Amino acid sequence: MRVHIIGTGLLGASLGLALSANGHEVTLEDTSPTAQQLAADLGAGRVVNAKTGTEAADTTDPDAPDTAPAHPDIVVVATPPDVAARVIATALETYPDATVTDVASVKTRLLESVKTLVTRSQLDRYIGCHPMAGREKSGAIAAQADLFTARPWVICSDEDTPESRLGEVIAMATDTGASVLHLDPRIHDAAVAKVSHVPQIVSSLVASQLRHAPLEEIALAGQGLRDVTRIAASDPGLWTQILTGNAEEVRSVLIDLRTELDEVIAALELGPGSTGLLAKAIALGNEGHDRIPGKHGQPPTTYAVVTILVPDTPGTLARLFKDIGDLGVNVEDFRMDHASGRKLGMVDVSVVPAIQQELEIGLLSKGWQIPESAIEKEGTA
Amino acid sequence: MRVHIIGTGLLGASLGLALSANGHEVTLEDTSPTAQQLAADLGAGRVVNAKTGTEAADTTDPDAPDTAPAHPDIVVVATPPDVAARVIATALETYPDATVTDVASVKTRLLESVKTLVTRSQLDRYIGCHPMAGREKSGAIAAQADLFTARPWVICSDEDTPESRLGEVIAMATDTGASVLHLDPRIHDAAVAKVSHVPQIVSSLVASQLRHAPLEEIALAGQGLRDVTRIAASDPGLWTQILTGNAEEVRSVLIDLRTELDEVIAALELGPGSTGLLAKAIALGNEGHDRIPGKHGQPPTTYAVVTILVPDTPGTLARLFKDIGDLGVNVEDFRMDHASGRKLGMVDVSVVPAIQQELEIGLLSKGWQIPESAIEKEGTA
């Protein structure tokens, strides 16, 4: 496919890298000549002059043939969200045969804005998307060909979207290694408020409390703090646009969160009588945490995890899995902990809860060690 | 040294693994026979009968010689925090020559409780500690010999602490690979409120908002949410004890955080006029984030980062660092991004801000590519 990418920041340049690597013909365009040239130098595609479709004058290789496609199959708008609607409308006008899509992280307001700018037939060629990928660093310099691998790529099509155009966008998204999901724009926006926008705000608020802490206090920072505040390094300009674009949904979740925060603050004031309230707050967090799907986007089925102690000797794992197989048990997931300095390894085997007991009894009868205290529930990892 | 560890959960068992690996003679004791045996099986030390100092009857090896030390040099109390004071007092009584320390994560209240239970001369043998290490999993089963490696190990001694006893505790902590820090208990508690306890509560609150979200919404979860909520999987029982023990400090930080949260909620209600307020909230988070030291506990000096584009050819890095050396520039840190699917690599070189410009001019004159947009400030990583 011929794909034209408008906006060569982190997402645009990463998309160019991923599609180029898969043999697609990618052209690039950015309002910043430096940014588009950087993306091209990194291998994200060729810079073209958008107006004429001819190779841009400032390309690195003056001898390159003028093969820029005047008729891209797909135009991807990867600009900052506050100009996305206008750029989408212009692209629908400039490329009258192309399918136009975007990567903006808020969909309802953007669709409303696009509707006010384009004709009904142009609108049929627009398919809003949101690849759920990013880094705390921005710009083409941070681009990665595998940025979208195994990440959700949300497509907000509707019943009026022509099948052939939808198929093109699905094919492009799939070629980046992403997992395609279809969602209504409103459901998408409610979802990202919870899984992305509120976590961003809260991460920033936690980091903000460190501004005036003495350095000897901050020196105690551990992995927990680093994880919670990693995204607090994000760009204020971009996030202001995202939060403004999804203000209602974000505000609604933050108000719920504040209610629970108030309960914790009140419990801490109560003193010894507060343990039940504090335990509840942490337990509710456990409950929400357990619903988060694994890295590769599996459904958040709660599997039972059976932990088996295994001696660190050759052939042990093979023997373990043969024994599990002989019991007729289907292993959903497993993980081996190669902790250093221990005489014994530990294998976590995830199975559907209904057969946990059967598996444990079977393995114990075959002489395997299953420390009782290790039986726990968790989502697949 | 002979080290006796009381409490063989995650911290106690990990400590036993680390010290055993370093040739120390480690004995273990836990109210749960299963837990202490598991820790011993993993290689954390030998189980002994605390009362007599003799080898416990239920040890794995019935032929093991009875070499349990009746006189440990150090006793480490690694029990849950709510029983730590009582166990410390008992240990001071049971082992009249030993230095007694602990690993509890709140120090002021614990010290006050210990003071009410022991004599003045016993108190001189107690040195409160807090190794800042942990995992979201608990129990000996999750123990790791390298749990303390490069982690801060806070020692709360005072002017009455005998030098020799302090030296023993420092030696033990250092042998786990931890970095020793000396702090007043009150400063420690204020610090952990900000860098550990508040992040825990907030992580739990964010995860809690996912409890009733439809699965199709949660399917959009990305790395940001996973990072922010990783510690939301923590144990409610343990955390209730920790938060109750440090209630005042935690409450004070949460109230500051709530004030900023209220500002964000108000800004989201304002609509378009709110961009400045939202940008400020994210920017304050950037500011706090920049103060967090690197993984290995370096001071959070803000270095200037110069990003150089390098072709992926042999000898390039050697040539780059020769050129930097020829410029007389001292490199504080560097990082290479091996992103797949790109024609060019990217090297981040951290230097003191004062020489950033000099380095850039020097490298540009030697023909290196430094994309202007990539110049950024960040803490060392």
What mean pLDDT value characterizes chain B? 85
- Region of poorest pLDDT, from A34-38, A154-158, A327-331: A327-331
Is the Cβ pair B291, A218 closer than 8 Å? yes
Contact A226 B191 (CB under 8 A): no
Confidence of residue B150 (pLDDT cuts 50, 70, 90): confident
Query: Both tokens of residue A108?
Result: 């309802």
In a shared domain, residues A272 and A126? no
pLDDT of res. B350: 78
pLDDT, average across residues B280-309: 76
Residues of B in contact with A291 (CB under 8 A): 210-211, 213, 215, 218
| Cβ within 8 Å, pair A198-B221 | no
For residues A111 and A159, state if they share a domain: yes
Sort out which chain A residues have CB atoms less than 8 A from B202's CB and list them.
202, 205-206, 228
Question: In this predicted model, what pLDDT tens digit does every residue of B79-109 receive, in sequence order?
Answer: 999 999 999 999 999 999 999 999 999 999 9
| B296 within some domain | no
B238, part of any domain: yes
Query: What is the domain count for chain A?
Result: 3
Residue B295 pLDDT > 60: no
Sheet holding B302-311, edge to edge: B333-337, B344-351, B302-311, B376-379
> Of the segments A333-342, B134-143, B220-229, which one has the largest average pLDDT value?
B220-229
The pLDDT of A298-304, averaged and rounded, is 56
Residue B169 lies in a domain: yes
Band of pLDDT at residue B6, cut at 50, 70 and 90? very high
Percent of chain B at pLDDT exceeding 90: 57
Do A25 and A114 share a domain, yes or no? Answer: yes
Q: What is the mean pLDDT of residues B319-331?
A: 80
A147, A197: one domain: no
Q: How far is B320 from chain A (nearest CA, A)?
A: 18
| pLDDT over 80 at A301, yes or no | no
pLDDT tens column, A213-222: 998 889 888 8
Last residue of a domain, one of B183, B210, B235: B183
Tell me, yes or no, whether A163 lies in a domain: yes
Same domain, A213 and A344: no
- A147-161, A298-312, B159-173: which has the minimum mean pLDDT? A298-312
Do B178 and B214 lie in a common domain?
no
Rounded to a whole number of angstroms, the distance from the CA of B101 to the nearest CA of chain A is 19
Q: Are residues B72 and B215 in the same domain?
A: no
Instruction: Tell me the count of A-B CB pairs closer than 8 A.
Output: 453
Q: What is the pLDDT of residue B354?
A: 82
pLDDT exceeds 50 at position B373: no
Domain that holds residue B320: 302-379
- Look up the CATH number of the domain holding residue B255: 1.10.3660.10
Q: B167 and B14 in contact (C-beta within 8 Å)?
A: no
Q: In A, which residues are within 8 Å of B285 by CB distance?
A: 203-208, 229, 232, 234
- Does ipTM surpass 0.85 in this model? no
Provide the CATH number for the domain around residue B14.
3.40.50.720
Q: Per the domain annotation, does B343 fall within a domain? A: yes
Dump pLDDT digits (tens) for A77-126: 999 999 999 999 999 999 999 999 999 999 999 999 999 999 999 999 99
Closest CA to A240 of B374, B268, B224: B268
Q: Are residues B143 and B58 in the same domain?
A: yes
* Pair A201, B280: CB distance under 8 Å: no
Average pLDDT, whole number, for chain A?
85
- Residues of A within 8 A of B257 (CB-CB) are 205-206, 208-209, 261
In terms of average pLDDT, the best of A143-147, B98-102, B271-275 is B98-102
* Residue A297 forms part of a structural domain: no
User: Of the residues A183, A211, A242, which one is the last residue of a structural domain?
Assistant: A183
My answer on whether B164 and B62 are in the same domain is yes
Share of chain B above pLDDT 70, in %: 84
Q: How far is CA A171 from CA A5, A178, B222, in A?
A: 16, 10, 22
**Strand pairing category for B344-351 and B302-311:** antiparallel
pLDDT digits (tens, 9 = 90+) for A58-83: 444 444 444 455 689 999 999 999 99
Residues of A in contact with B275 (CB under 8 A): 240, 244
pLDDT, position B59: 45
**In terms of domains, do A100 and A40 share one?**
yes
Please indicate, yes or no, whether residues A20 and A153 belong to a single structural domain of this protein.
yes
Give me B286's structure tokens.
């950037």
Q: How confident is the model at residue B238 (pLDDT cuts 50, 70, 90)?
A: confident
The domain that holds A332 is classified in CATH as: 3.30.70.260
Alpha carbon separation from A212 to B177, B253, B285, B286 (Å, rounded): 30, 12, 12, 13
Over residues B242-252, the mean pLDDT reads 95
Among the candidates A289, A311, A332, a domain finishes at A289
Q: Which residues of A touch B215 (CB under 8 A)?
A: 291, 299-300
Q: Are residues B219 and B267 in the same domain?
A: yes
Judged against a pLDDT cut of 60, whether residue A280 lies above it is answered with yes
Is B342 contained in some domain? yes
Q: How many residues does chain B have?
A: 381
**Binary contact (A289, B210; C-beta < 8 A):** yes
Reported as a single tens digit per residue, the pLDDT across A165-198 is: 999 999 999 999 888 999 999 999 999 999 999 9
Does residue A113 lie within any of the structural domains? Answer: yes
Chain A's closest residue to B338, CA to CA, is: A144
Is A273 in a helix, a strand, or coil?
helix
